[in-house]
């Protein structure tokens, strides 16, 4: 039985490049939206952010892997916003769109008449989502926003890394990706409201806002106590033991979430009495005495191999796991069984397919991932411009 994607019929005009904006478009495309990506004549910057590049069936490559990480499921056309023709094309498409996504600097589209105020005045039902580094208001609004800078400004780097080491960013673009996800939630909420009121919405999404929002318990630890959260490496600020531990042949993660799991951990390690030590009997005590306890546990864990200790902990229900390299991630039987890697058919690609990491959304047993690979630059110009759904005429 063919299942209709949940956002089938939704039209999204993406005037975005790099990551946060395209991430929004990709999530919506995975859910069935028709996403038209309007690129400058030279293309999205990330098409050139390689190596590695996806190899083509001929001599030319099909853009950098980075581009393909955020652009599957879309149709690509080109337009030069600096020209009257390009501006007219975007306005024509906006007239038929449900959603516009853009990530230009604040005011960057105003001179072309493609900003939120201009397009929403013409099309009141439009959901217009602007993504910037710092938002449309405030003293930093005019600044360009970059994920690395925002990780630093948003506090996450002060929390990441070893206590005596340098501040450390995450290995992937947290501010960009979280902003893309929060923006997608905002767009879907605005569409739901439009169903009730008939009115569109203007969304002001900032990388800095999103990065601070996902500080989670670390932010509240500070706001409640007034104490700055320290860098703890892999340790947890509120739970002990919840860390990386050395074993005879490497390292594993042990993540005890309650006193019952703590007691079972001690039994597995052959030190049942440790659970009753007044210094470690409950989580508050263990947090207070984390340094001494961690040293004890390091010594105990190193008596076991990775496989043996993980098996023993799994048997008694103590949360623990390996630290996988990326190749091990995609070879993991759980990951394979869940179909997280998907190979999208592409006649232009060497080998006939382009690999992708599927959306984590599974609805009614169906993983929501577009079957369409990332587009070549301007690939769908004729198709989109002749599509009646976007104001064109067949023929």
Distance CA 278, CA 298 (A): 20
Strand pairing report for 362-363 and 353-357: unpaired
**DSSP code, position 35:** E
Question: Which of these, 41, 24, 42, lies nearest to 33 by C-alpha position?
Answer: 24
Gap between the Cα atoms of 234 and 172, Å rounded: 17
Residue 296, token pair as written in the block? 């004890």
Residue 176 among the catalytic residues: yes
The rounded distance, in Å, linking the Cα atoms of 63 and 328 is 26
DSSP 314-349: HHHT--EE----HHHHHH-HHHHHHT-EEEEE-TTB
Among residues 34, 176, 204, 387, the one annotated as catalytic is 176
* Closest listed residue to residue 25, CA positions, set 98, 89, 88, 81: 98
Residue with tokens 């006939």: 352
25: number of Cβ within 10 Å: 27
Please name the residue that has the structure tokens 């690395």.
148
- Short-list 237, 321, 246, CA closest to 283: 237
Contact, 369 vs 356, CB < 8 A? Answer: yes
- Residues with a known catalytic role: 176
């Amino acid at each position: 039985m063919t299942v209709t994607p949940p956002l089938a019929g939704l039209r999204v005009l993406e005037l975005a490049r790099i990551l946060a904006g395209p991430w929004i478009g990709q999530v919506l495309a995975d859910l069935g939206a028709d996403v038209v990506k309007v690129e400058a004549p030279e293309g999205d910057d990330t098409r050139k952010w390689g190596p590695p590049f996806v190899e083509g069936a001929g001599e030319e490559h099909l853009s950098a892997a980075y581009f393909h990480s955020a652009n599957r499921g879309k149709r690509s056309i080109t337009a030069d916003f600096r020209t009257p023709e390009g501006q007219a094309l975007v306005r024509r498409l906006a007239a038929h769109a449900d959603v516009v996504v853009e990530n230009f600097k604040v005011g960057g589209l105003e001179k072309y008449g493609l900003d939120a105020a201009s397009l929403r005045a013409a099309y009141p039902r439009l959901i217009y989502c602007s993504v910037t580094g710092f938002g449309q208001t405030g003293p930093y609004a005019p600044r360009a926003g970059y994920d690395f800078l925002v990780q630093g400004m948003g506090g996450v780097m002060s929390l990441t890394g070893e206590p005596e080491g340098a501040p450390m960013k995450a290995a992937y673009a947290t501010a960009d990706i979280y902003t893309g996800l929060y923006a997608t939630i905002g767009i879907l909420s605005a569409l739901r409201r439009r169903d009730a009121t008939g009115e569109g919405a203007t969304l002001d999404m900032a990388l800095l806002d999103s990065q601070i929002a996902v500080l989670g318990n670390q932010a509240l630890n500070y706001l409640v106590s007034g104490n700055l959260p320290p860098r703890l490496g892999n340790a947890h600020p509120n739970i002990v033991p919840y860390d990386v531990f050395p074993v005879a042949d490497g390292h594993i993660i042990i993540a005890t979430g309650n006193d019952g799991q703590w007691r079972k951990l001690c039994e597995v390690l052959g030190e049942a009495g440790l659970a009753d030590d007044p210094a470690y009997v409950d989580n508050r005590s263990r947090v207070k005495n984390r340094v001494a306890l961690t040293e004890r546990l390091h010594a105990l864990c190193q008596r076991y191999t990775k496989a043996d200790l993980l098996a023993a902990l799994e048997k008694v229900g103590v949360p623990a796991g390996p630290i996988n390299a990326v190749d091990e991630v995609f070879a993991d039987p759980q990951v394979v069984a869940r179909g997280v890697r998907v190979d999208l058919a592409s006649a232009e690609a060497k080998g006939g397919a382009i690999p992708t990491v599927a959306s984590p959304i599974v609805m009614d047993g169906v993983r929501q991932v577009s079957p369409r690979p990332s587009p070549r630059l301007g690939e769908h110009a004729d198709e989109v411009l002749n599509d009646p759904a976007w104001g064109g005429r067949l023929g």
